[in-house]
Homo-oligomer: A and B are copies of this chain.
Amino acid sequence: MSSTWKNNIALSIFGQSHGAAIGMTLDGIPAGEAIDLDELRAFMLRRAPGNFPWATPRKEADEPELIAGLVNGKTCGSPITAIIRNTNTRPHDYGHIQFVPRPAHADFTAFVKHGGFADLSGGGHFSGRLTAALCIAGGICLQILKRRGIFIGGHVASVGAVNDDLFSPVGVGEELFAELRAMDFPVINPEAGARMVSEIEQAKQDGDSVGGVVECAAVGLPAGLGSPMFGGMENIIAQLVFAIPAVKGIEFGAGFSAATKRGSENNDSFTVTSGKVTTETNNHGGILGGITSGMAIIFRAAVKPTPSIEKAQQSVDLVANTPVQLEIKGRHDPCIVPRAVPCFEAAMAVAVMDSIQSK
């Protein structure tokens, strides 16, 4: 039981990939916040498959219907619930693999946990499709945070071996985020972006998939948000980010590269800028002792290659307990990374919203 998350705010995500609907309830949002549905739709469109070489041909309207929590377009202080009807379900695509788990998918573990009752169609509740619900929650939070001067943005930091530039402590901010939001394939360095797309197209041609890294930042946060120990900003962000399927790692600021450094290199000197205490560098990623320093929060998350590939794979028939060769014919993204960018922004937005709703 854990599709219900409760800290200073609460988020409940429900639905299965090929069930009647997916959706979410977001509880604890203050009253009086205008929610612009067009802006929410635009945000969610960045997660939608689109007509891109890297995306699944499965098309879903992904139109969220807000059924609770708003009055005349503004939050009323009650839980906000939105649902998305699943219109383009094809349960039979997956019927034949019901007891043959796809490698690197949750099919096997869901089957062990829930037995034959697990909904394995298209990944059921474990499907990446559920991130649409996360994006509703995050898209709502983003609009509220924006009015408080807090902006969040992300980009594809790498695909396979190709790396984009990283956010710098200086350049990161809403201007750059707006540029990235406007791009189909959001990267800081367009040349790297072009090579990433090639990498993805190549993987697709090979009936294969490829992984990557997303970098996400939040700017405009006051210092002093968050808590020590288990409720720190890193803890909460990490807990939310690992709810996005395919994430296998997260790092903040200098992250794993901090582990290779000396203290004298990694420590961010304090300085006074326009009367405000800041740091000259941002190896700490905006968080010290679980609490915001006022610098940009920056994390990078590792996204494994899409498990569903056309290439033949070795699996097991869970009923017969015998080896089986598996070929997956469904509709899949050769690289989920570009579509995942708004999902990470959403996770960050929920975490930051949570921190400002604490006293």
Contact = CB atoms under 8 A, between A and B. Distances in A.
A305 B83 CA distance: 36
Nearest to A304: B258
A262 B208 contact: yes
Nearest to A101: B270
Contact of A212 (B235, B248, B259): B259
Contacts of A285: 248
A351 to B, nearest CB: 11
Contacts of A288: 104-106, 108-109
Interface stretch (A48-56, A146-154, A172-180, A236-244): A236-244
Interface centre among A69, A113, A303 (most CB of B within 10 A): A113
A interface, size bucket? 35 or more
A330 interface: no
A284 interface: yes
Given A4-B6, A108-B293, 5 more contacts: A209-B262, A211-B258, A235-B240, A271-B314, A272-B322
Query: In the complex this chain forms, how many copies of it are found?
Result: 4
A119 to B, nearest CB: 4
B211 A259 contact: yes
A122 interface: no
Contacts of A1: 8-10, 27-28, 227, 231, 357-358
A89 interface: no
A160 B257 CA distance: 9
A238 to B, nearest CB: 4
Interface string A87-130: 00000000000000101111011101111111101001110001
A182 to B, nearest CB: 25
A349 interface: no
A249 interface: yes
Contact of A213 (B239, B256, B290): B256
A238 B249 CA distance: 9
Contacts of A305: 258, 261-263, 265-267
Contacts of A170: none
B14 A272 contact: no
Interface string A294-323: 100000001111111101011110100111
B4 A117 contact: no
A78 B266 contact: no
A3 B245 contact: no
Contacts of A104: 263, 266-268, 283-284, 288
A138 B130 CA distance: 26
A72 to B, nearest CB: 9
B106 A323 contact: no
Contacts of A238: 235, 238-239, 242, 250
A246 B1 CA distance: 30
A75 interface: yes
A2 B78 contact: no
Given A31-B118, A239-B235, A3 B289 contact: no
A125 B81 CA distance: 12
A251 B254 contact: no
A74 B109 CA distance: 19
Contacts of A314: 269-271, 280
